[in-house]
Amino acid sequence: MTGFGIDVLEVEAKFKSPGNEKVEKALQRLGAKKLGAESVEDVYFSHPSRDFGRTDESLRLRKTELGSELTYKGPRIQLEGSKAREEITVRPNDALAAQRIVERLGFRERLVIRKKRNSYLLEKLRVDLDDVEDLGEYVEIELLTESPEYSAKVMESVRKDLELERLEPRTYLEMILERKEGKLKS
């Protein structure tokens, strides 16, 4: 990222998994390298003076056994079969201190999402197999790039190889909030 605009975007597509075991076997057949398995806790914050739901932004503190990341995600740019967005991430040594700083600045914890994640590298693509608490199994394919249009084509090829059919355009945060609102209305 430079002061002259966006250099790199994260291009991502999420799919409802046909079964993470099945996808994992397909990844192994394709020669993907397993990066690891981890438990992930994502803490999402609400902004003190603007609605991130309306501006399509988010601020997330991710906590894993390996460390933490504080990530700002900008508004989505819709592409055919995927989405791209600016992401700015810092890796604080102390997740609790990072959360305290964010809260002292007026942000409030909105929702915590927990998931088990197995991550693979398939050429330049990262493929994450997630089992999300209260949502089920999903597959995320992502690539950091300067050319979102080209990335979407590469990702489409991998989607076919992994037999992923059900594109999920919503974030986990959006899905869980919709589910909670649905339960409140019932």
Catalytic residue from among 44, 120, 138, 172: 44
Fill in the DSSP letter of residue 160: H
Burial (Cβ within 10 Å: 0-12, 13-18, ≥19) of residue 12: buried
Strands (E), 54-135: 58-64, 67-73, 77-79, 82-85, 87-90, 108-122, 125-132
Of the candidates 71, 62, 77, 69, the one whose C-alpha atom is nearest the C-alpha of residue 169 is: 77
Is residue 44 part of the annotated active site? The answer reads: yes
Which tokens in the block code for residue 77? 């740019």
**DSSP 8-class letter at 2:** B
Catalytic residue numbers read 44
